[in-house]
Amino acid sequence: MEPDDLEPRTKRIEKRNLDVLAVREIEAYIAELEEEIARARAAIKGKSSHKNAAEAFFKR
């Protein structure tokens, strides 16, 4: 067993101190977050379609 196996699966993203960032840095930070949100939404969509397909298969 690895030490990483003991870590919680859901980790919180560390919040950045926005007070020390320039406007462009904050905009870049927002873009990074939006990309991660899009990736998460795509993962949810993919998992939902797999779940729906399995449910439809076993309802027969």
What are the average pLDDT values for consecutive 10-residue runs of the chain, which has 60 residues?
69 89 97 96 89 76
If one counts every other C-beta atom within 10 angstroms of the C-beta of residue 21, the result is: 13
Whole-number pLDDT of residue 37: 96
For 35-44, b/e burial (b = at least 16 CB within 10 A) is eeeeeeeeee
Domain boundaries, the chain: 19-59
pTM above threshold 0.95: no
